[in-house]
Structure 1
Amino acid sequence: MKFTDGYWMMLPGVRSQSPVDVLDVESGPGSLSVYGTVWPIRDRTDLLAGPLVTLTFTAPMADVIAVTITHLDGGDPRGPEFPVTAFAGMKGIVHETEEKAVLASGALSAHVSRSAPWRVEFRAGDRVLTASRAKSTAFIETGDGSHYIREQLDLGADHFVYGLGERFGPMVKNGQSVDSWNADGGTSTEQSYKCVPFYLTNAGYGVFVNHPGKVSFEVASEAVSRVQFSVRDQSLQYFVIHGPTPKEILRKFTALTGRPALPPAWSFGLWLSTSFTTSYDEETVTGFVEGMRERDLPVSVFHFDCFWMREFQWCDFAWDPRTFPDPRGMLARLKERGLRICLWINPYVAQRSPLFAEGKAKGYFLKRPDQEVWQWDLWQPGLAVVDFTNPAARDWWTAKLDALLDMGVDCFKTDFGERIPTDVAYFDGSDPERMHNYYSYLFNECVFELLRSRFGAGGAVVFARAATAGGQRFPVHWGGDCECTFEAMAENLRGGLSLGMSGFGFWSHDIGGFIGTPEPELFKRWIAFGLLSSHSRLHGHDSYRVPWLFDEESVRVLRTFTELKCRLMPYLYEVAREACTGGVPMMRAMPIEFPGDPSCTHLERQYMLGPDLLVAPVLTHGGHVAYYVPEGTWTSFRTGEPTRGGRWVRETHAFDSVPLLVRPGAVIPVGAIGDRPDYDYGTGVTLRAYELAEGRTVTVTVPSPDGRPCSTFTVTRRGGAVHAERHGAPGEWRLLLVGVRKVASVLGGTMEPHEHGTLLQATGNRLTAVR
């Protein structure tokens, strides 16, 4: 929210007060409290009125400092609160001198000047990361009587801001105004389904505003050399998180707010949907499934969208008997084909639904302040909203889902949950403004925990649209409703990269777009992008998304990229495990992997899939694509051709191709199975070694999707030879030296020529290739 009229003046009716002098400093065990006055203290008459600004500094974990700004502290705290972890035994180190007071947390420290002008610096060693200076911290009153707390943190001339949730505009947020307020606005506006009040910078730090309600950010906009954030409240807490690298910032941010659970391996395969308003029944569904099987197109999950239930009764969780007279039998028949089943749900109950009267009688819905059930006609006539702060309502609602799991359902698409009203009363007394965004957390948590209770750790997955900070715990999330255009494809990519820089490890989108029917050219280009995303779903609004309805080439393109993803699963599932243990997303914006390369700062039409694969989707007609390749000699995964880095590349690609480059020095494990995502990755695996430098050792972990021990390999180039070893249980494996056309001899195996280099077949656990 903007408060100023240029540099000198405030907007009409706006009054701002900022600390100018430090009145006093108090230190406690691992904490620092600073009291600031809003005018200079010249004599005792200046001590007779306020306000008094209170800043409290604490250290919830190493390299993180929490700052709480407080004005009036007499109100009772009202939830909800983000689930933030404070690490046991962690305390900041306080140091005071006549000039300043300091609280240190690991390599990060906050320095408060005791003398005018007011200044709070956040330092890493001797380097100032950012600072709050005179007039940055403020209590602000507006003409309507609202009270805001505002903070501004300095932004250097070469500093850039990322994150703030799934935002579909430019990936670099400098110059933007961003409100953290969930809305169902599609992918082509400034609104967002997933608002996260956290931003990441290229200057070695990130900032998390710990407020679940509306947080307004002015990113180098109102004050062009600062990031401003404000809340309508009497207190504001934010965390400064030191990296110094983007990966370390994300690791620490997700340590505070939670990391995603590991989705089951089957969820990484192809999802096929009925689409939204299309007509379908068991015959239609079976026809889709059989059509995919006949064309050698492996499907892992079949999704039933809204009309599995009867119209005007969403959500009553009852199959429409006119269309699905035998749902249990139908699901059994589909599961015999090896499919997992997903059902569309949302947290609303239409008035015509039999559940409405039941929920109303038991008090399970959000209520108006007069205790009447809150209702409106948007989306479904007379719908009510489930109150997930009521434990009995949660149990009642999840029992309906549990019955569907008994039928054979495996997961749910948790749609909606964004436009949650604020003129309501919650069962637990939560503040409705603070609950607006946080509702999505409770909604997805409720469903995810039910699935985890049924299927165990590693067996739960949702397909969620709405989220806020902490929602990354409940994967997967998808990008929402987009048009069927190349521009919308680019919007989705920007949104996914922005969400990944906000702590979310897994993300998907509707292949081909949602609104309308894509042209075959667009559909085929989107297939490559979709299958090289963390999760891959064919879904649309009013038309089916089976490929043969577009053209036969679409069938071949889908087969090519579905097989590619399945064979990449030994690599991808390890990347997924790292997202869960380290907080770094599977799909990584280029500044995450290359923070020292200024050419990567604004790149938003390409990404890294894990640490070693560069993907540049084709986003234009004609197959033309331009992308940047960082330093080194990169290699095309598809053709084995080398590409010199440190420059932009322009290419034209056929529909069965996309820029997919391997980082120099990488070893990529490639699986032996191309028709399903969940298999024994360690059996028959091929290690593809690219441009290994002399003396370099690469350790490769090949995970197991079923909980068995992982396979670990080491590949070393030393003294003109490449040495590879499998550690642990023996098994069939191979080593492909990409780009190496001649090997003098091989020990521990056999060799044969390969289109990409030389292929070595191991006969034991060790291989040595003499070059």
Structure 2
Amino acid sequence: MKFTNGYWLLREGITAAYPAQVLDAVPGPGTLRVHAPTQHIRHRGDLLKGPLITVDCTAPMPGVIGVRITHFEGGVENGPHFELHHEPHDPVVAVDDKEATLTSGDLSVRFRLDGDWRMEFQADGRTLTSSDVKAMALMETAEGQHYIREQLRLNVGTSVYGLGERFGPLVKNGQSVDIWNADGGTSSEQSYKNVPFYLTDAGYGVFVDDPGKVSFEVASEQVSRVQFSAERQQLQYYVIHGPTPKEILRKYTALTGRPALPPAWSFGLWLTTSFTTSYDEQTVTGFVEGMAERDLPLSAFHFDCFWMREFNWCDFEWDPRVFPDPEGMLRRLKDRDLHICVWINPYIAQRSPLFAEGKAAGYLLKRPDGGVWQWDLWQPGMALVDFTNPDACAWYASKLEALLDMGVDCFKTDFGERVPTEVTWFDGSDPERMHNYYTQLFNKTVFDVLRKHRGEGEAVLFARSATAGGQQFPVHWGGDCESTYESMAESLRGGLSLGLSGFGYWSHDIGGFEGLPDAGLFKRWTAFGMLSSHSRLHGSSSYRVPWLFDEEAVDVLRHFTKLKLSLMPYLYGAAHQAHSEGIPMMRAMMLEFPDDPACASLERQYMLGGDLLVAPVFSEDGEVSYYVPEGTWTHFATGEKVTGPRWVRETYDYLSLPLLARPGAAIPVGSVDDRPDYTWADEVTVRVFEPADGSRTTVRIPREDGTAPVEITVVREGTRLRAETSDASLPWGLEVAGGPSARAAAGTAVLALTLSDARG
């Protein structure tokens, strides 16, 4: 929200009060409280008028400092609140005549006591950002609305990222962003996944601890500041020190929750019925058999909305006219080694038998007058399940448990964005704060059911909406995109932005959701989709099996599916890192190369894990431009070398795209390419790319059973490359890209290669 008319004036009807100076600083055990009058205190008469702003500083974990700005503190705050995780430590508080500081780890907040207002955050001997004169403010409109606003300075050249899954430019500088979940597709400023957290390339990130509507002006209202505001009497935010972008994400996800680790099978190919297409068991079986006949490995099959009867969404009952024997059908599909997903949402249509049941029990969201809130947008007379009611959660979960008992493995948790505010929640939650937070309760309820019935390592969703902390319940997909190259590119921007907001895994509808892609677009999107964290073929009114496009589409899908499955030893290692550290599998280039200014705004390419560069092709003619950072990179498929830093322009056929291995990378490649869940270390080949002399690289290959990973350490000594494994019981191999290779039988712990030249 903008409050000013240019730099000098306020907008008509807006009044502002700014902290002018520090009146006093009160230290406490690991805390610091500052009282800041909104006028300079020249004599005692100035002490008789307000407002007075109170600023409380705390430190939930080393390197993270919380700031709470308060005007009136007598109000009732009904929640909800983000669940945050604290790490006990001992912040250092110091107050003297000139300054007051609180230090947590390497990060300090400092208040000037002998002059005009200034609060600054310092680390590594420099000021990261600051709240200067006329930055922090109490803003009031002519209608009596009261906002707390903060502005944090942006140093020259600083770029801002994150704020959820946003489909515009990856760098948020110059943008206005409202944190307000909406079902707006992928082609507007709206987002399904809004996260009040931004990350910078200047050593810090900022998380606004407010689940409601927070408005960000990112170098837009004040071009040298990031502004955030909310209609509140109190606002809390945290400054998170890195210094690297990865370390910022580690600390942010430690604070808000790390992603769960999805099951191995979920990384394979998912096929769906699509949305409004006509299908029955014969249709589904035909698709599954068609995939098998064409040697297209399939891991999961998804039934979209019409597995239930029309106007009954959701009643969680199979439409008997189309699926007269659902238990038998699911058993037959599972006999083909498939996992089953079904579509659900948190809305209950009036015709659903569950509407009367939920209404009678008080499980549905209510209007202020006590009646059930309803509307006709999406399903006639639909209501929302009130997940603030524990009994409603248990009721909803019981419906899902029946499906799990039937053979369903996971759920696509659709919708959850269109949540009204003129309502009354069971637990008294503030409707405005609950709008974004509703999806957290919805997805958690479903995820908890899966954890209970399928086990900790088997729970997985396909979720559309989210907010801060939603990364704990993966996987999320990018929503309703068009079948165009432009929408393919905006989908990638959304996924990279979400990854910079703490989410570890992300997917999208291969070929686009709305419309029918031509064969060329489908094939280009297939390559991108199979080199994403999770891969799903899905559409709106048309099927997405490849033979409906052309025979080459079958070849393309087969090629990239098998490539992905063979990379599972590498990809599941990246998945473990997302789970344990909060580093996303699909990474914006700035995350891996924060010191390369050319990477700051790159949004048409990404790193898949830490060692593979992917540049999808967004053109009919196959031409693509991509940036190669410093060093000698290697095309993964051909072994061709590309030396950076430089831009490269090339043309690719449908069976290829820029997929480059990082200099010094050691990438484990599996021996199986027809399923994602296998013993990844058995017959594994470690491919080594441009190892530097004296380098020592350890590859950790996860085990599917969750026990300690197999470690293979590769050492370059002059023209000799030596590797040793922690588990000699498994046969394995070593290969230098474009050079020699060797394989070992079980019982061999060490392999050595003589390189053809000093470069390797």
Superposed pair shares fold, TM > 0.5: yes
SS in 2 for 1:533: coil
Aligned residue number for residue 55 of structure 2: 55
CA distance in 1, matches of 2:55, 2:714: 53
Which letter maps to 1:660? L
User: Which residues of structure 2 form unaligned runs of 5+?
Assistant: 756-760
SS in 2 for 1:524: helix
Aligned residue number for residue 751 of structure 2: 767
CA drift of 1:117 comes to 1.5
Aligned residue number for residue 86 of structure 1: 86
SS in 1 for 2:457: coil
1:138-176 Cα distance to aligned partner (Å, 9 max, x none): 001012211000000000120000000000000000000
CA drift of 1:8 comes to 1.1
CA drift of 1:761 comes to 3.9
Aligned: 1:245 with 2:228: no
CA distance in 1, matches of 2:474, 2:600: 27
CA distance in 2, matches of 1:427, 1:53: 33
Aligned residue number for residue 703 of structure 1: 702
Aligned: 1:12 with 2:26: no
Within 5 Å, which residues of 2 pair with 1:578-597?
Answer: 578-597=577-596
CA drift of 1:762 comes to 5.1
1:563-599 Cα distance to aligned partner (Å, 9 max, x none): 0000000000010001000110000000000000001
1:361-417 Cα distance to aligned partner (Å, 9 max, x none): 011011011111000000000000000000000000110000000000000000000
CA distance in 2, matches of 1:166, 1:50: 40
Cα contact 1:711–1:729 (8 A) shared by 2: no
SS in 1 for 2:142: coil
Aligned residue number for residue 423 of structure 1: 422
Q: 1:450 to 1:269 in 2, by over 3 A?
A: same
Aligned residue number for residue 735 of structure 2: 736
CA drift of 1:91 comes to 3.1
Cα contact 1:82–1:470 (8 A) shared by 2: yes
Aligned residue number for residue 274 of structure 2: 275
1:291-325 Cα distance to aligned partner (Å, 9 max, x none): 00000001100000000000000000000000000
CA distance in 2, matches of 1:144, 1:346: 37
SS in 2 for 1:645: strand
Aligned: 1:104 with 2:86: no
Aligned residue number for residue 204 of structure 2: 205
CA drift of 1:86 comes to 1.5
CA distance in 2, matches of 1:768, 1:622: 44
CA distance in 1, matches of 2:646, 2:741: 29
User: Which residues of structure 1 form unaligned runs of 5+?
Assistant: 741-756
SS in 1 for 2:733: strand
Aligned residue number for residue 741 of structure 2: 758
Aligned residue number for residue 139 of structure 1: 138
Which letter maps to 2:638? T
1:520-546 Cα distance to aligned partner (Å, 9 max, x none): 000000000000000000000000000
Cα contact 1:497–1:587 (8 A) shared by 2: yes
Aligned residue number for residue 401 of structure 1: 400
CA distance in 2, matches of 1:355, 1:729: 57
Cα contact 1:417–1:443 (8 A) shared by 2: yes
CA distance in 1, matches of 2:495, 2:108: 32
Cα contact 2:55–2:67 (8 A) shared by 1: yes
Within 5 Å, which residues of 2 pair with 1:482-521?
Answer: 482-521=481-520
CA drift of 1:21 comes to 1.6
Aligned: 1:679 with 2:678: yes
CA drift of 1:115 comes to 2.5
Which letter maps to 2:160? V
CA distance in 2, matches of 1:422, 1:485: 35
Number of aligned residue pairs: give it.
754
1:307-363 Cα distance to aligned partner (Å, 9 max, x none): 000000000000000000000000000000000000000000000000000000011
Within 5 Å, which residues of 2 pair with 1:605-754?
Answer: 605-740=604-739
1:424-460 Cα distance to aligned partner (Å, 9 max, x none): 1110000010000000100000000100011111110
TM-score of the pair, normalised by structure 2 = 0.99
CA drift of 1:7 comes to 1.0
CA drift of 1:116 comes to 2.5
1:99-126 Cα distance to aligned partner (Å, 9 max, x none): 1100001100001001222100100032
CA distance in 2, matches of 1:290, 1:760: 36
Cα contact 1:60–1:91 (8 A) shared by 2: no
SS in 2 for 1:632: strand
Q: Which moved more, 1:224-233 or 1:44-53?
A: 44-53
Aligned residue number for residue 442 of structure 1: 441
Aligned residue number for residue 327 of structure 2: 328
Cα contact 1:524–1:655 (8 A) shared by 2: yes
SS in 1 for 2:557: helix
Aligned residue number for residue 44 of structure 1: 44
Aligned: 1:465 with 2:464: yes
CA distance in 1, matches of 2:600, 2:269: 32
Cα contact 1:735–1:762 (8 A) shared by 2: no
Aligned residue number for residue 123 of structure 2: 124
CA distance in 2, matches of 1:504, 1:91: 29
Cα contact 1:260–1:475 (8 A) shared by 2: yes
CA distance in 1, matches of 2:87, 2:744: 48
Cα contact 1:737–1:759 (8 A) shared by 2: no
SS in 2 for 1:253: helix
SS in 2 for 1:280: coil
Which letter maps to 2:741? T
Aligned residue number for residue 32 of structure 1: 32
CA drift of 1:759 comes to 4.0
Cα contact 2:25–2:95 (8 A) shared by 1: no
CA drift of 1:49 comes to 1.8
Within 5 Å, which residues of 2 pair with 1:134-173?
Answer: 134-173=133-172
Cα contact 2:478–2:494 (8 A) shared by 1: yes
Which letter maps to 2:563? L
CA distance in 2, matches of 1:738, 1:485: 36
SS in 2 for 1:76: coil
Aligned residue number for residue 542 of structure 1: 541
Q: Identity over the aligned pairs, expressed in percent?
A: 66
CA drift of 1:611 comes to 0.4
Cα contact 2:742–2:753 (8 A) shared by 1: no
Aligned residue number for residue 359 of structure 2: 360
Within 5 Å, which residues of 2 pair with 1:528-539?
Answer: 528-539=527-538
1:195-251 Cα distance to aligned partner (Å, 9 max, x none): 000000000000000000000000000000000000101101000000000000000
RMSD over aligned Cα, in angstroms?
Answer: 0.8
Cα contact 2:97–2:114 (8 A) shared by 1: no
Cα contact 2:741–2:753 (8 A) shared by 1: no
Within 5 Å, which residues of 2 pair with 1:593-604?
Answer: 593-604=592-603
SS in 2 for 1:630: strand
Q: 1:389 to 1:556 in 2, by over 3 A?
A: same
CA distance in 1, matches of 2:705, 2:266: 13
Within 5 Å, which residues of 2 pair with 1:245-264?
Answer: 245-264=244-263
Aligned residue number for residue 77 of structure 2: 77
Q: Which moved more, 1:346-355 or 1:730-739?
A: 730-739
TM-score of the pair, normalised by structure 1 = 0.97
CA drift of 1:729 comes to 4.8
Cα contact 2:733–2:741 (8 A) shared by 1: no
Cα contact 1:67–1:237 (8 A) shared by 2: yes
CA distance in 1, matches of 2:555, 2:12: 63
Which letter maps to 1:694? D
Moved over 3 A (4+): 757-763
Aligned residue number for residue 751 of structure 1: none
Cα contact 2:167–2:188 (8 A) shared by 1: yes
Cα contact 1:259–1:472 (8 A) shared by 2: yes
Aligned: 1:577 with 2:561: no
Which letter maps to 1:558? L
CA distance in 2, matches of 1:419, 1:113: 45
